Amino acid sequence: MKQLGCALVLLLAMPVSANEMILKARQTVDIYGSSALEPNLADVDYQLSWQLSGQQTDTGCQPSHVLVSLTATVTEPLEWPQTPAWQNYRLALTGYERLVRERALLSAQWLEESLFHIAPQTNCQQLQKVADNVGYHQLTIARTLLSDFQQQNDYGRHLGLIRPAEGQR
């Protein structure tokens, strides 16, 4: 299976006015790759990224805006063999990836909720640290959710994703 790792980390805190600080914490992590099927006929990578703005109030610095995005990159052959077996395989692959996408979207929603519900912190730098920890924790949960789904379904084979024999080209 494809190694999972951090693709981009950028943390900045910028003052906007005397009582507001915008905190931009962006985390992009590759959370899934379907390269377990060999040879690869398709590969899907999902990336979650997030940005958080914090606002200083009387109770401390609290999240004021959260943006979480999920990006999926699907790579598949330009041409599939035009046989019923291969067309059925392609349909099963598409269905399987839809199920994976649903789990990735759920992970993105959990990440957004978790970041937005961080309790006010003493200052925006502390909010940044807490948001970073929450983000990494939620990304670990996302990796586990997707990995467990893959393994429980034998990377789609239990859902009908069975590659046609070479002679069926």
Of the candidates 120, 152, 133, 149, which has an alpha carbon nearest to the alpha carbon of residue 27? 133
3-state secondary structure of 130: helix
Task: Tell me the pTM.
Answer: 0.70
Provide the residue ranges of all domains of the chain, joining segments of one domain with +.
Answer: 6-168
Instruction: State the Cα–Cα distance between residues 131 and 125, nearest whole angstrom.
Output: 10
Q: How far is residue 157's CA from residue 169's CA, in Å, rounded to a whole number? A: 20
| Burial (CB count within 10 angstroms: exposed 0-12, middle 13-18, buried 19+), residue 136 | middle
Tokens coding 112: 């957004």
Per-residue pLDDT of the chain (169 residues; tens, 9 = 90+): 233 233 333 333 333 333 343 444 444 444 444 444 455 566 777 788 888 889 999 999 999 989 888 887 777 777 788 899 888 888 888 888 888 888 888 988 999 999 999 999 999 889 988 988 898 888 888 888 888 888 898 888 888 888 887 655 5
